[in-house]
Chain A
């Protein structure tokens, strides 16, 4: 049975795979006319109040989200973008998935060459463990 997708969440991180993930999300969404939400989470240090606006981080986030919007325009699909601040990205992504009734999270991850098992990052592990919906992990090519 084909799963029905109405809402897709794409957490962006500014990595090289962001554009491909947005294109993938758009192509998956197109069939069922699903909504695509791209989100960027600024992780705020615990020494600062959560609503502190760190200009350099906000500027970086704006650029990443604008890039995601551009990728969606190139894919000829409309997306919504959101900018969140949290202590950790993982819970923020899962919370966003619950609030927006997300059916599928597509997450880009970069394979970091390290001894032992691949290091995917704290947020990916959290989402894989806690997200109530389906999660699709997209690894950027090593080159």
Chain B
């Protein structure tokens, strides 16, 4: 294009950098968002099942079901909040709009804590699955070393900056769903259906005490780790007001079906005692192993066909699946747990981005690195805390329960804040558009309040209280963390002469 045009003397132009120098690209659709959410929630079954069995024994399927019902309530509250306020920050963002910055800060630090424990617990259980290939990795001391190595490696990767691949997330989510469906079908068709008494004996014969049941319900919420992932990703979602609730509902349906099926498969193939003692850290590997022992391909073949050629083909088919299953579970579980560890680190990045923008944490913490363009300070700080949480792994045999208690402390606090904020927003701003509005409302003093959020806040607060009372490690570490968060918040707000309770202005994040 030839041109003679030149700006005149007075024609001057200034190019301004966009406020979001690296805007979060809106690229995720319903399935991409579901995969990211499922990757986080679905991964938790690889460790939660064993941990719940350690406490709830035979009642594991029941407590998972009860926690699952409240998971639906929580997911519904997140769906309404995310469709209303499609921004990163999850419960901290809801609390900021529903209450004020002080509540948002408390919710934000609680959420950050649950992310840190997700990092620790996912990294801690990944080596246990690798133990299939090399037994020493399943030992607690070696496993703890490897877990720390995984966190360090992912920390470096996240500082340099990795691109989260939606295609990779979708691939692993799909592979995981298929593997779990195979496990469930094999267990139901060939063990549960012909011998339902094994399952009922394992459940009824190993019923826990009342306190075990209550604590089991609390710990079972761990199975639904990462329900807020979809909410955190809403700024990267196409048409988030429609996409986020749809992805959330899809996730609820898939997770509930798979978790119920896996519970049945678990106690059809092994006793709760076996799971709690031998397979606590890698329960799905235990199920795969149990299936390989309990199912005899020749018997299935003889039942399905009388033709000798048919018997050979069917025997080879089922024999192949049963041989492949433990290897597939070991590789898949390790990969998914490492992805979940990474998702925790990425969640921290997104959360600090949101908290920094709302001036809930010092801006210096949210600064992005001038070269790598990543929030390196929170990544290092939170990875370090996650590594410290793993130290008991070297000498405490119940590290797994300790980590579970810590996770429940952070996540249930954050969930109750989410429910409370949704209720408060219905009272404070009933006029605001709600692209997704929870049904089943009751009228209290003229306000339409969702019953699921009321039950959700009551349940999550009660279970959180039960954990605080019964788990001293979770109590002191959890409260210590929250106190640290509040000191940082008040010191920062006081120094910056910002309101201590009310909302401050949203700011642009600086580059280091």
- Which A residues are closer than 8 A to B by beta carbons? 42, 50-51, 53, 58, 62, 65-66, 69-70, 73-74, 81-88, 91-92, 94-96, 98, 101-103, 130-133
Contacts and interface: CB of A to CB of B under 8 A. Distances in A.
A133 B2 CA distance: 9
Contacts of B1: 101-103, 132-133
B11 interface: yes
Interface in B1-43: 1-5, 7-8, 10-20, 23, 25-27
Interface centre among B2, B3, B239 (most CB of A within 10 A): B3
B3 A91 contact: no
B475 interface: no
Contacts of B23: 66, 69
A85 B27 contact: no
Given A66-B23, A132-B1, A133-B1, A85 B14 contact: yes
B15 A82 contact: yes
Nearest to A102: B1
B87 to A, nearest CB: 12
Contact of B13 (A81, A84, A102, A131): A84
A53 B508 CA distance: 13
Given A98-B3, A132-B2, A84 B14 contact: yes
Given A51-B14, A83-B17, A86-B12, 18 more contacts: A53-B16, A58-B19, A62-B18, A62-B19, A62-B20, A66-B23, A69-B26, A84-B14, A84-B15, A84-B16, A88-B11, A92-B11, A92-B13, A94-B5, A101-B1, A103-B1, A131-B5, A132-B5
Contacts of A50: 12-14
A73 B26 contact: yes
B507 to A, nearest CB: 11
A130 B25 CA distance: 35
B238 interface: yes
Given A66-B23, A69-B26, A85 B5 contact: no
B20 to A, nearest CB: 8
Nearest to B239: A74
A83 B12 CA distance: 14
Contacts of B239: 74
Interface centre among B2, B7, B13 (most CB of A within 10 A): B13
Contacts of A62: 18-20
A33 to B, nearest CB: 18
A91 B14 contact: no
Given A69-B26, A70-B26, A98-B5, A91 B18 contact: no
Contacts of A73: 25-27, 238
Contact of B11 (A70, A85, A91): A91
A94 B12 CA distance: 12
23 contacts: A58-B19, A62-B18, A62-B19, A66-B23, A73-B25, A73-B26, A73-B27, A82-B15, A83-B16, A83-B18, A84-B16, A85-B14, A85-B15, A86-B14, A87-B11, A91-B8, A95-B11, A96-B13, A98-B3, A102-B1, A131-B5, A132-B2, A133-B1
A87 B2 contact: no
Contacts of B20: 62
Nearest to B29: A73
Which interface class (under 10, 10 to 19, 20 to 34, 35 or more) fits B? 20 to 34
Nearest to A52: B14
Interface of B: 1-5, 7-8, 10-20, 23, 25-27, 238-239
A85 B15 CA distance: 6
Nearest to A46: B10
A50 B7 CA distance: 16
Contacts of A87: 10-12
Nearest to A134: B1
Nearest to A94: B5
Contacts of B15: 82-85
B26 A86 contact: no
Given A73-B238, A85-B13, A91 B7 contact: yes
Contacts of A83: 15-18
A7 to B, nearest CB: 9
Contacts of B19: 58, 62
B14 A132 contact: no
Nearest to B27: A73
A132 B3 contact: yes
Q: Ordered nearest first, which 9 A-B pairs have the shortest CB separation?
A: A132-B3, A85-B14, A91-B11, A83-B16, A86-B13, A73-B26, A51-B14, A92-B13, A62-B19
A130 to B, nearest CB: 6
A74 B240 CA distance: 12
B353 to A, nearest CB: 16
B315 to A, nearest CB: 49
Given A132-B2, A132-B3, A95 B18 contact: no
Contacts of A133: 1
A9 B14 CA distance: 18
A53 B5 CA distance: 28
A96 B11 CA distance: 12
A126 B15 CA distance: 20
B16 A85 contact: yes
